[in-house]
């Protein structure tokens, strides 16, 4: 949770983490365990996409790991604040041999300034023994209080390395948000696609089982006809072959559903333990959700929204801001160093040596400048080049986002059109299969023709299921492209 001054800023990721923690804390007080009939009802209730996405937001380990990026940024900001910690300095000196045998000791508190370079300090100094009059550490027997400050007038005034590091660390706190948001969009999209892949596999298994059921029912009727002499035995053999081939298709479809269930379990987790849940087949919805025709007129508005909300844009903007601080610091290092310092010493004893004043004030000014300043000039060139590179990245990011939105919108329109055509294809194939079955009853056709019609009807229904899955996959990609899932 980033802080600037005394202000606390809650990010959306931090809010989600708080919600997850509140849910975990409230679970032990949720009351008695549900009755067995309630558990059975839960198992038969269709699993909705919202449940899966809620599990991703609160229990998905990669997302929880991504949100730790914010904690890392907060720690680095606190670390940068350490450069402005109040410092305690203490020391002393003594002369074990020589003409002067005096000793000195001091204790100082020093506070670096955050609004301007330099710092203020104050403390206590004490000397004893015999020291020369010119020794600046010489005090009365009760010591002296010290108070002073150092202020840079040119270089390190408006900016220095400590403040630049702190400001960049605070930007990193904001920079964690688009990094987390980018992963969040990817996780939501992956979970959505996995959910509809699971639903598609379940629908396909149901169609395969229905096709097998028809073949088995027909096999009983054909067996009776063979027994009565109305059909040749080879007809029953052909239908038995068809039953076996459809049983193989059921096994393959069941395996496809198992694989989709296992993949979905990575996103759908237990609210208490966060362990993956293998959703039973009984929780499969009976049909895909309804869908609407994508509005072509919305594309321009969605592109504008994507350019605002896509995390890539915010990430580059914050990186530009960080690099701008590097450039300011490099420009600062081109300036000469002109530092002013003032120190006052106040004696605490009523009796002072004749060579000491009760109050002594000392002012110092120091000027330093590297004549060539190649390091600072090099840093300015590096910062300018990085800013130019980021501006180019910003330009391409805008173009890339626009292309992503256009492409995903085009894919969504195509998926919708294919879905409409597959539904018409199902109607036509079903009409042909029904008509062929009626002709077989009248003896106007044979079993092979009916099998072909049934297989065509099955293939059309499978294509419709795949088209629905593709539509919702395209819809998930489009929502991710416009950063709709905030």
> Got the DSSP string for 77-128?
HHHHHGGG--EEEEEEEE-SSSS---EEEEEEEEEE-SSSSSEEEEEEEEEE
Phi, psi of 407 (to 5 degrees): -65, -45
Q: How many whole angstroms separate alpha carbon 20 and alpha carbon 303?
A: 32
Closest among 431, 23, 61 to 267, alpha carbons compared: 61
Euclidean distance between CA atoms 208 and 134, whole angstroms:
103
Instruction: Give dist(CA 445, CA 449) in Å, integer.
Output: 7
16-32 in b/e form (b: 16+ CB < 10 A) is bbeebeeeeeeeeeeee
Q: Residue 296, class by beta-carbon neighbours within 10 Å (0-12 exposed, 13-18 middle, 19+ buried)?
A: exposed
Which residues are CB-contacts of 438 (< 8 A; sequence separation ≥ 6)?
Answer: none
Quick one: 290 exposed, middle or buried, by C-beta within 10 A (0-12, 13-18, 19+)? exposed
User: How far apart (Å, rounded) are the C-alpha atoms in residues 443 and 123?
Assistant: 114
| Beta partners for residue 393, in sequence order | none
294 closest CA partner among 376, 413, 200:
413
Give the Å distances, CA to CA, from 173 to 58, 322, 425.
22, 12, 54
Give the pLDDT confidence score for residue 100 in this predicted structure: 77
Structure tokens at 417: 């059109």
For residue 219, give Cα distances in angstroms to 235, 248, 441, 474.
9, 17, 14, 42
Closest alpha carbon to 205 in 195, 197, 215, 193: 197
* Token pair belonging to 59: 């229990």
State CA 52 to chain mean position distance.
Answer: 17
Handedness of CA 189, 195, 196, 200 (dihedral sign): positive
Q: What is the dihedral of CA 309, 313, 317, 322, to 10 degrees?
A: 110
pLDDT at 282: 93
What whole-number distance in Å separates Cα of residue 104 and Cα of residue 88? 17
Instruction: Compute φ and ψ for 25, nearest 5 degrees.
Output: -70, -30
Please report the pLDDT score of residue 20 as a whole number.
47
* Local structure of residue 352 (DSSP, 8 states): -
Mean pLDDT, consecutive 10-residue segments, the chain of 486 residues? Answer: 42 50 40 49 82 94 93 94 93 81 90 90 87 76 88 91 94 95 96 96 94 85 76 80 91 96 95 91 92 84 94 95 95 92 83 72 89 88 96 96 96 94 92 85 76 88 94 95 86
**At 351, is the secondary structure helix, strand, or coil?**
coil
3-state secondary structure of 12: helix
Question: In the prediction, which pLDDT does 397 show?
Answer: 96
312-344: burial string, b at 16+ Cβ within 10 Å, e else: bbbbbebbbebbbbbbbbbbbbebebbbebebb
pLDDT value of position 339: 92
């Amino acid at each position: 949770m980033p802080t600037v001054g005394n202000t606390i800023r809650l990010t959306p990721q931090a809010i989600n983490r708080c919600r997850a923690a509140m849910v975990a804390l409230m679970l032990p007080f949720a009351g008695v365990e549900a009755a067995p009939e309630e558990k059975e009802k839960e198992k038969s209730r269709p699993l909705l996409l919202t449940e899966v996405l809620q599990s991703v937001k609160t229990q998905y380990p990669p997302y929880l790991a991504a949100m730790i990026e914010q904690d890392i940024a907060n720690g680095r900001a606190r670390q940068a604040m350490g450069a402005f910690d109040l410092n305690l300095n203490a020391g002393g000196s003594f002369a074990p041999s020589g003409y002067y045998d005096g000793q000195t000791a001091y204790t100082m508190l020093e506070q670096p300034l955050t609004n301007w370079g330099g710092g203020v300090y104050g403390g206590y100094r004490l000397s004893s023994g015999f020291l020369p009059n010119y020794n600046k550490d010489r005090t009365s027997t009760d010591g002296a209080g010290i108070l002073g400050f150092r202020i840079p007038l040119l270089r390190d005034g408006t900016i220095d390395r400590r403040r630049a590091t702190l400001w960049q660390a605070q930007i990193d706190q904001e920079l964690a948000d688009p990094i987390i948001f980018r992963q969040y969009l990817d996780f939501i999209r992956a979970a959505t696609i996995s959910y509809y892949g699971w639903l598609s596999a379940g629908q396909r298994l149901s169609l395969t089982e229905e096709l097998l059921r028809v073949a088995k029912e027909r096999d009983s009727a054909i067996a009776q006809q063979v027994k009565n002499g109305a059909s040749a035995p080879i007809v029953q053999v052909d239908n038995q072959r068809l039953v076996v081939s459809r049983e193989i298709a059921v096994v393959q479809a069941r395996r496809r559903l198992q694989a989709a269930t296992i993949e979905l379990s990575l996103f759908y987790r237990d609210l208490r333990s966060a362990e993956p849940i293998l959703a039973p087949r009984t929780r499969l919805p009976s049909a895909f959700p309804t869908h609407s025709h994508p509005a072509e007129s919305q594309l321009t508005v969605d592109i504008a929204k994507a350019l605002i909300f896509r995390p890539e844009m915010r990430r580059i903007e914050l990186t530009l801001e960080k690099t701008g601080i590097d450039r300011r610091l490099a420009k600062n290092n081109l300036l000469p160093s002109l530092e002013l310092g003032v120190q006052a010493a106040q004696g605490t004893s009523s009796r002072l040596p004749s060579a000491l004043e009760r109050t002594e004030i000392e002012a110092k000014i120091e000027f330093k400048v590297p004549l060539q300043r190649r390091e600072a000039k090099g840093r300015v060139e590096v910062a300018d080049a990085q800013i130019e590179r980021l501006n180019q990245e910003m330009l391409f990011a805008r173009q890339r986002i626009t292309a992503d939105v256009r492409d995903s919108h085009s894919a969504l329109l195509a998926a919708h059109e294919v879905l409409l055509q597959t539904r018409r294809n199902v109607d036509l194939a079903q009409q042909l299969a029904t008509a062929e079955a009626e002709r077989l009853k009248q003896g106007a056709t044979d079993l092979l023709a009916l099998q072909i019609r049934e297989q065509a009807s099955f293939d059309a229904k499978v294509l419709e299921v795949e088209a629905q899955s593709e539509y919702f996959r395209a819809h998930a990609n489009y929502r991710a492209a416009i950063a709709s899932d905030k």
